[in-house]
Chain A
Amino acid sequence: SNPFEVKVNRQKFDILGRKTKNDVGLPGVSRSKAIKKRTQTLLKEYKEREKANVFKDKRFGEYNTKLSPEEKMIRRFTLERQQNYGKKNIYNLNEEEELTHYGQSLAEIEKLNDIVDSDSDTEERGALSAELTAAHFGGGGGLLRKKVSSGQQEEEEEKPKSRKELIEEMIAKSKQEKQERQSRRESALELTEKLDNDWKEIQTLLARKPPKSERKDKEVEKPKPDEYDMIVRELGFEMKAKPSERMKTEEELAKEEQARLQKLEADRLRRMRGIDEEASKKKPSHVSADDLADGFILDKDDRRLLSYKDGKLNIENEDQEENDDDEEEEESGAKEGDESEEESEEESGNENEEEDAADSHSDLESDLESEEEAAGNKEQNKHTTNEKESENVEKLDPEMEAAKSELPYTFTVPESYETFKSLLAGRTVEQQLIILERIQKCNHPSLAVGNKAKLEKLFGFLLEYVGELATLDLPELRTIDKLVLPLYNLCQMFPEAASDSMKFILREAAHDMAEVIEVKGHTTFPGLDTLIYLKITSLLFPTSDFWHPVVTPAFMYMSQLLTKCRITTLQDVIKGLFICCLFLEYISLSRRFVPELINFLLGVLHISLPKKQAQGYTVVHPFTPVGKNLELLLVCNKKDLESWQKQNLPLSIVTGLKETGQTEINHIRLSCLALCYDLIKKCAALYESLPSFHEIMHPVRVLLTQHVPVNEYPEKMQEWYHSALKELENKVKHYTPLICEKKKPVPLKQYTPKIVKVLEFGRTQGGSKKEQESKQLIRKHRRELKGAIREIRKDNQFLARMQLSEILERDAARKRKVKELLGSLATQEGEWKAMKRKKGKN
């Protein structure tokens, strides 16, 4: 364009690789564009600003985008015809309509066609083909063609074709030819394929059937290279020998296992400290983190060492996740272990004796641990028994074996608790375990889609079953003891479902208790099943976590039990002590402080004292300084005191205390007392690191030193007593003044430039994606705002200009009119004067 209209924005520095949009501007062009646009829009509006009339476009379908233009035209045409029909045609009898094509009458086109035809050849010269030339000039092809063309010519001569017809004909021909060519090619392809297939069939026949002699004459030199080729090719395709993982030595495996456990332990510690890392740092680190970890892992170490002593690589047992995959292999491995199967059966009874198990065949012991494997083993066992009925089965009771062999191998997961119960009813513990294993195996979630939900349900059923077993008059605790294994395995498989069903049970229990309290004002301890559930919780979930979806509610529930439940009978005391044990077990790793525990133990000690005014300590709910439950644990009978032996409390007395003699009951009381002393000792050991240990234990110490009638105790009890007291007393009193953590100083605002590393030019640095986005939006908004303001300003200027020009125009018109008037008046005046003069003259 005109170089005088171009404005160049000069760049101060040339930067390589930068694209500039606005280096050249055309102010004149853009201005004229803007003005034009404004005249079309703004000016129009301005001029019509006081007009109420609206122009309406009533053409049919003008703004209907759905109609295609052709359709639109047709409809319009019909409309027009309809409009005209009634008026005109009444008298118009003869007039034919003129047919049109693209607005031209057909008749005219026909006339014109001839004219066009005459000079068509000159037009079409550019696209000459053989046929065309043949058609027009007789062509230059062979005789045959000549004939045809001559024929055509004749035809042409006979019946002169229009140019259009000719061209159409030609197009049709070429198309046909093309099609033919294609079909030919396709058929050829098909044929070759067919040939190939046939050849293959024949080849196989040739390769197999004909003996060498026959083949020789045909393909003498072929077979040998063929074989060779085959080998070469095979070698080519064969897996290259790759360096695989070398077999790990036992030390390495041990190390790996240790690393895994260490990681798990570190994870547990992290969870124990809770989210607030700083808070945990501030805590008087009871034991330095390293210490605890070391000790713990050492323990684990021992266990693992035991398990691989026998030289097998069964350390893998402990990865439960892999178990399923390994099952097959290990089943085969278990064959060797078959001879010692019996021992495993025996050992299942006395599992606690780890040493024993380790010494003999610890692989079996660990087999028992990982239940799936046990299943493998047992099934192995089954197979052998079924097949051989041999000596492998020695120790097992023959009847039981018979019953066992009756067990089907596949089970479907029961849909309801009733079916589940009926499945297990009348079976021995071992059979129940086997059934559960088989259910799990047959319905492994990897086998079918719905299995996961089914097995998740199974966990709930199993829990319910355990609860039922515990509420029996004679609780089958041994069975529960075994059933814990499948529970653990199911829990490992489905943590969410397990935690949900556990939470459900806890919620029910707590809800019941809250209701009873609301109605009666007090409540009693729940049955053995709830206690067992709480115990199982500690087996399935890590109790040392700062917060855990199941364990924390369990804590709350137990705390409620210890503070809200009334203590009226010896069983209540035992239940309470059981919960105390649970508390201690829960906090054994995390060493958290449980006030209720100390309160309860103090209360238990209190009720073992003869009635008198408590001094120096106060007992809190549910114990009262004066009340019914006093002297519940007091034993006065000298004989009973002497004959007492520390015995483990059987859990079954929790559900129903058998009618036993006074001596028996007294012994139980003394055992409770001993247990209480032991718990106090353990508490003292756990809490010694708390800064206010002495304040916490103060009431207990006062009670122990000043009120307990030690001298009346039997010797054993005195031992318990003294060990507890020793644990309490030999702690140094040590107080360090508290100091708040320093507040992080808020930095002053400074004016020094902020120095940022620039990684990429032209792009804003730092900030998250969200921040950048918002920044970008703000920038965009600002730019748009500026543009809008500028536009509005320009609109106003434009309007002002228009108004000015209007005014000027109006003024000019008035001036002109005034001039005209004045002129006419002047001429009138002049005429009048002239007349006057004339008159005067005259």
Chain B
Amino acid sequence: QLPTGLYKKVLVIMHDSILPYMNEPTLMIDFLTVAYGIGGAISLLALNGLFILIHQHNLEYPDFYKKLYNLLDPSIYHVKYRARFFHLTDLFLSSSHLPAYLVAAFIKRLSQLALTAPPEALLMVIPFICNLFRRHPACRVLVHRPNGPEDMSEDPYIMEEEEPSESRALQSCLWEIQSLQNHYHPDVAKAAAVLNHSLSEMEDDISGLLELSGYELFDKEVKKKAIDVPLEFEQVRGLFGKKNDIFAEHFTLD
């Protein structure tokens, strides 16, 4: 009913400026459910208000996790509200009573979407996934399947499936994280390599990583002191003079 911009503004301040001052916060249920159903960034934002209603006002929300699962799409790693969203998702998935198939589906989906994520999001989501593994040891088959079939021609996981229980996530493996071990950012590669080993008991604290920005990462890298600087040993012949230079094929210096 509201224009998108206004919708967003209202939802952003919902949890700390509106709900605490209402006599009957439950009146917001309809508004929030509608907002949650819209999809995209608005759904992400509505999550926060809903959480308060569920948590403090006994709201019973059917298929909550299914909807949350369907909220996950490539844009979650790129939107502004990434930190808020992952903070809440972390809360929702912190219960140890969740079924393994559900958590596995979340893990699988998050990691598959991570294939399009920028490094700052990756640095946050990989410890996030590690934490899920720690909370739900039953999901560890995703990274450790010693008696599985030798070769598979397909990933058993079905990305398009909307129902987490039907997604066959528990029969899959986290090849995505394995791919990320080849990421160009050294920290991401290291973080992804953690899953190669058995995890430590302690959960990682991801609250500091939620707000990470690309510029901060850049700054951190630039400020690192290097002991010595390795140099290219191939002799330069000009701007595009390298062997098999891609630029020479497609650009000219004019």
- A residues engaging B (CB < 8 A)? 261, 264, 267-268, 271, 274, 276, 278-279, 282-284, 286, 299, 318, 351-352, 368-370, 477-478, 480-482, 484-485, 487-488, 491-492, 495-496, 498-499, 503, 506-507, 510, 513-514, 517, 532, 535-536, 538-542, 545-550, 552-553, 555-557, 559-560, 563-564, 577-578, 581, 584-588, 590-596, 598-599, 618, 620-621, 648-652, 671, 675, 678-679, 682, 690-696, 732-741, 743
In the complex, A478→B241 CA distance in Å? Answer: 12
Q: Inside 8 A of A488's CB, which chain B residues have their CB?
A: 232, 235-236
Q: Inside 8 A of A538's CB, which chain B residues have their CB?
A: 242
In the complex, A480→B95 CA distance in Å? Answer: 60
Contact B215 A514 (CB under 8 A): yes
Contact A299 B243 (CB under 8 A): yes
Contact A553 B222 (CB under 8 A): yes
Contact A651 B115 (CB under 8 A): no
Contact A652 B237 (CB under 8 A): no
Other contacts beyond A595-B183, A620-B77, A682-B246: 13, CB < 8 A: A282-B181, A487-B236, A488-B235, A495-B231, A549-B225, A559-B119, A593-B180, A598-B116, A648-B249, A693-B179, A695-B176, A738-B173, A740-B197
- Return the contact of A649 from the options B75, B174, B243, B251 (Cβ within 8 A): B251
In the complex, A735→B247 CA distance in Å? Answer: 34
Q: Inside 8 A of A649's CB, which chain B residues have their CB?
A: 250-252
Which residues in window 206-221 of B have CB below 8 A to A? 214-215, 217-219, 221
Contact A648 B181 (CB under 8 A): no
Contact B252 A650 (CB under 8 A): yes
Q: Inside 8 A of B77's CB, which chain A residues have their CB?
A: 620
In the complex, A305→B238 CA distance in Å? Answer: 21
Closest CB in chain A relative to B75 CB, distance in Å: 6
- Return the contact of A495 from the options B155, B195, B228 (Cβ within 8 A): B228
Top-6 shortest CB links A-B: A549-B226, A737-B148, A691-B175, A279-B193, A592-B184, A495-B229
Closest to B183 in A: A593
Taking chain A's interface residues, is the majority helix, strand, or loop, or is none over half, making it mixed?
Answer: helix
In the complex, A735→B186 CA distance in Å? Answer: 25
Which residues in window 72-96 of B have CB below 8 A to A? 73-75, 77-78
Q: Inside 8 A of B112's CB, which chain A residues have their CB?
A: 692, 695
Contact B198 A484 (CB under 8 A): no
Check B57 for interface membership: any CB of A closer than 8 A. no
Closest CB in chain A relative to B15 CB, distance in Å: 24
Contact B254 A546 (CB under 8 A): no
Contact A279 B190 (CB under 8 A): yes
Interface string of B189-202 (1 = CB under 8 A from A): 11001011110000
Check B28 for interface membership: any CB of A closer than 8 A. no
Closest CB in chain B relative to A669 CB, distance in Å: 14
Closest to A487 in B: B236
Closest CB in chain B relative to A642 CB, distance in Å: 22
In the complex, A678→B244 CA distance in Å? Answer: 14
- Return the contact of A651 from the options B144, B150, B253 (Cβ within 8 A): B253
- Return the contact of A735 from the options B155, B239, B240, B253 (Cβ within 8 A): B155
Contact A650 B78 (CB under 8 A): no
Contact A535 B247 (CB under 8 A): yes
Check B9 for interface membership: any CB of A closer than 8 A. no
Contact A484 B173 (CB under 8 A): no
Contact A737 B149 (CB under 8 A): yes
Closest CB in chain B relative to A370 CB, distance in Å: 7
Closest CB in chain A relative to B248 CB, distance in Å: 7
Q: Inside 8 A of A743's CB, which chain B residues have their CB?
A: 197-198
Closest to B217 in A: A556
Q: Inside 8 A of A547's CB, which chain B residues have their CB?
A: 186
17 A-B pairs within 8 Å (CB atoms) are namely A351-B241, A482-B238, A484-B241, A487-B236, A495-B228, A539-B239, A541-B232, A549-B226, A556-B185, A557-B218, A563-B78, A584-B246, A590-B184, A595-B116, A620-B75, A738-B173, A739-B144
Check B153 for interface membership: any CB of A closer than 8 A. yes
Closest to B253 in A: A477
Closest to A466 in B: B239
Which residues in window 140-193 of B have CB below 8 A to A? 142-146, 148-155, 159, 173-176, 178-186, 189-190, 193
Contact B226 A587 (CB under 8 A): no
Q: Inside 8 A of A650's CB, which chain B residues have their CB?
A: 251-254
Q: Inside 8 A of A286's CB, which chain B residues have their CB?
A: 182
Closest CB in chain A relative to B12 CB, distance in Å: 15
Q: Inside 8 A of A553's CB, which chain B residues have their CB?
A: 218, 221-222
Which residues in window 108-161 of B have CB below 8 A to A? 112, 115-119, 142-146, 148-155, 159
Contact B151 A535 (CB under 8 A): no
- Return the contact of A596 from the options B118, B142, B154 (Cβ within 8 A): B118
Contact A593 B229 (CB under 8 A): no
Check B245 for interface membership: any CB of A closer than 8 A. yes
In the complex, A586→B183 CA distance in Å? Answer: 12
Closest CB in chain A relative to B125 CB, distance in Å: 12
- Return the contact of B215 from the options A352, A503, A510 (Cβ within 8 A): A510
- Return the contact of A595 from the options B118, B144, B224 (Cβ within 8 A): B118
Closest to B214 in A: A560
Q: Inside 8 A of A491's CB, which chain B residues have their CB?
A: 231
Contact A498 B118 (CB under 8 A): no
Closest CB in chain B relative to A269 CB, distance in Å: 12
Contact B193 A593 (CB under 8 A): no
In the complex, A693→B241 CA distance in Å? Answer: 31
A499-B226, A696-B115 known; A485 and B236 CB under 8 Å?
yes
In the complex, A556→B159 CA distance in Å? Answer: 29
Q: Inside 8 A of A485's CB, which chain B residues have their CB?
A: 236, 238
Q: Inside 8 A of A482's CB, which chain B residues have their CB?
A: 238
Contact A690 B179 (CB under 8 A): yes
In the complex, A540→B232 CA distance in Å? Answer: 5
Closest to B174 in A: A738
Check B233 for interface membership: any CB of A closer than 8 A. yes
Residue in B189, B232, B241 with the greatest tally of chain A CB atoms within 10 Å: B232
Check B230 for interface membership: any CB of A closer than 8 A. yes
Contact B116 A620 (CB under 8 A): yes
Q: Inside 8 A of B233's CB, which chain A residues have their CB?
A: 261, 264, 268, 542
Contact B214 A556 (CB under 8 A): yes
Closest to B224 in A: A549
Contact A282 B193 (CB under 8 A): yes
Contact B175 A560 (CB under 8 A): no
- Return the contact of A690 from the options B182, B247, B252 (Cβ within 8 A): B182
Q: Inside 8 A of B143's CB, which chain A residues have their CB?
A: 738, 740
Contact A739 B146 (CB under 8 A): yes
In the complex, A535→B112 CA distance in Å? Answer: 32
